[in-house]
Chains A and B, each alone.
Chain A
Amino acid sequence: MARAYSTVEQFAVGFDRQREWIERRGLLLLTAFYLGGVGGGLFLASLIIGWKAGIPIALGIVALGKGPAHLLYLGRPLRFWRAFRRPHSSWISRGIYFMLLFILLGTLYYVFYENTALAALSGFFAFALVIYTGFALAASPGIPFWSNPLVPIIFAGAAITSGAALAEAAHAINTETVITHVERLETMGLVMSTGMVVLIFTYLLGNYMSTIAAKESVAYLAWGSMSFVFWVGVVLLGIVIPLAIIVPAYVGEVARGWLAVAGISELCGSYVLRYSLLKAGIYPPVI
């Protein structure tokens, strides 16, 4: 079969959910987006908190996770080299360049760790890597829920939050983790998590008050058939549990085990956030 659409969806006028980037092999693309976000976010977090060991982990997540997941998603993976051709117009082409330059410059930075110029350059491409997926979605005029300037910011925010969460979890689990500016870790987690609450709320509210298809997407997430996944995955795992642990840790002391729970919970929530955003991509009726 060419695609798994029901007869009603193919031949009736109405809302239509995107499936290509979330169902069946589309889950590989979701995973690639997620791993790119976590890897790039971890690299940025490592730069900020001074965690040298986090850099090869971040590079490994991108090189061994994101890259292969993208290739496995493609219908014709052996033609991947053709995607280098159109960086002037396609965000997928740009993403490939960002990924390769990130891996190259990130590796050089790990080797020449004190080099400020390399830190700035690799940090720039890490940021490009975490934000481009949002631009790829925002460049799709067919889906109003994605065609929104907040989408790249949400993707970048979620990525950096995930990177900080992974560093937090690693630091909590392994007490011998060497982090130069460990005090920045909790601040970063608190600021990013709080910022994500504001971003997600603003994004959903803005969409609810815009076009009918965007409103349908919000309804699908907030009280439709995706509501359980959204409220448990995105809100509870991604926001409530991490904040319930990070806030007390910021103002006082909590056991390290709880910080690991906060980090792992946030990482799960971040995956579900991307899943929810992709799943709620709804096309408006053609008339």
Chain B
Amino acid sequence: MRYGLVIDLRKCAGCYSCMAACKAENFTPRGVFFTRVLAEEKGKYPNARWHFIPIQCNHCDNPACVSVCPTGATSQRDDGIVTVDPNKCLGCRYCIIACPYRVRFYVDKRETYYQNPTPHEVYGLKARDYQEGTVIKCDFCSHRIEQGLEPACVATCTSHARYFGDLDDPESDVSRLIASNGAYQLLAEKGTDPSIYYIH
């Protein structure tokens, strides 16, 4: 079992709903976006086009962040999900340095967006154990997976550009999409073997 994600960039409309859903689901602190949508302008007028590339933790099969972590706070589960134990992290940020995808975040101060936090933010402060002085990241919404649900970014994608499933199962949607569409991984040359594939 190895959870993975396929993102079909041909369908991605750049609506940022994955980013918003992730933020709402995970109550991430101010300035932290576990899922980000990168925008890139390609071509020149009158043929210029925006291209959107959603990125998040790739839950690599050979994660650089796990091997460099001096405490074992960052670890890989049997299902391939890479997690950070907030009670073990000492905030050295070596994992942030090692990750080629820039998808780990150091929480210096856990600030809310508003001086008087919204009820959602107040709930989030209690619901999520994001400790100051530690590193946090996407965990594929493991709390949702345990309930048999898809990650929030997948469930909310308005254009059905995201597919979540088991990469080890050759019959899963993700495996078939990867095989039939020539899907690729970001920065594959780094040897990290990401679990997120892109179709262009």
Contact call A76/B134, Cβ cutoff below 8 A: yes
Q: Which of B37-75 contact A (CB under 8 A)?
A: 37-40, 53, 55, 64, 67-73
Contact call B97/A21, Cβ cutoff below 8 A: yes
Determine, out of A77-85, A124-132, A157-165, A244-252, the stretch whose residues face the partner at the interface: A77-85
User: Chain A residues near B91 (CB, 8 Å)?
Assistant: 74-76
Contact call A142/B98, Cβ cutoff below 8 A: yes
User: Chain A residues near B96 (CB, 8 Å)?
Assistant: 18, 20
Chain B contact residues: helix, strand, loop or mixed: loop
A76-B91, A79-B88, A141-B98 in contact; A85/B70 too (CB < 8 A)? Answer: yes
User: Chain A residues near B131 (CB, 8 Å)?
Assistant: 76
Does B108 lie at the interface of the complex (its beta carbon under 8 Å from any beta carbon of A)? yes
Contact call B186/A286, Cβ cutoff below 8 A: yes
Report B119 CB to chain A, min CB distance, Å. 22
Q: Measured between alpha carbons, how far is A283 from B191 in the docked complex, in Å?
A: 15
User: Chain A residues near B18 (CB, 8 Å)?
Assistant: none
Does B122 lie at the interface of the complex (its beta carbon under 8 Å from any beta carbon of A)? no
A75-B132, A83-B90 in contact; A13/B108 too (CB < 8 A)? Answer: no
Contact call B111/A75, Cβ cutoff below 8 A: no
Chain A contact residues: helix, strand, loop or mixed: loop
Number of contacting residues on A, CB 8 A? 40
Does A186 lie at the interface of the complex (its beta carbon under 8 Å from any beta carbon of B)? no
User: Chain B residues near A139 (CB, 8 Å)?
Assistant: 67-68, 98
User: Chain B residues near A284 (CB, 8 Å)?
Assistant: 100, 187
User: Chain A residues near B186 (CB, 8 Å)?
Assistant: 286-287
Q: Mark B84-117, 1 if CB is under 8 A from A, else 0.
A: 0000111111101111111001111101000000
Q: Mark A73-105, 1 if CB is under 8 A from B, else 0.
A: 111110110110110011111001000000000
Report A135 CB to chain B, min CB distance, Å. 11
Q: Mark A47-75, 1 if CB is under 8 A from B, else 0.
A: 00000000000000000000000000111
Contact call B39/A79, Cβ cutoff below 8 A: no
Contact call B72/A74, Cβ cutoff below 8 A: no
User: Chain B residues near A140 (CB, 8 Å)?
Assistant: 64, 68, 97-98
User: Chain B residues near A11 (CB, 8 Å)?
Assistant: 36-39
Report A155 CB to chain B, min CB distance, Å. 15
Q: Measured between alpha carbons, how far is A284 from B99 in the docked complex, in Å?
A: 11
User: Chain A residues near B29 (CB, 8 Å)?
Assistant: 2
A-B contact pairs, 6 of them (CB 8 A): A2-B30, A13-B39, A20-B97, A79-B88, A85-B72, A142-B100
Give the 7 A-B residue pairs with the shortest CB-CB distance, closest first: A75-B91, A75-B133, A142-B100, A82-B71, A92-B70, A13-B40, A83-B70
Contact surface of B with A, Cβ cutoff 8 Å: 29-33, 36-40, 53, 55, 64, 67-73, 88-94, 96-102, 105-109, 111, 131-135, 186-187, 190-192
Contact surface of A with B, Cβ cutoff 8 Å: 1-3, 5, 10-13, 16, 18, 20-21, 73-77, 79-80, 82-83, 85-86, 89-93, 96, 136, 139-143, 281, 283-284, 286-287
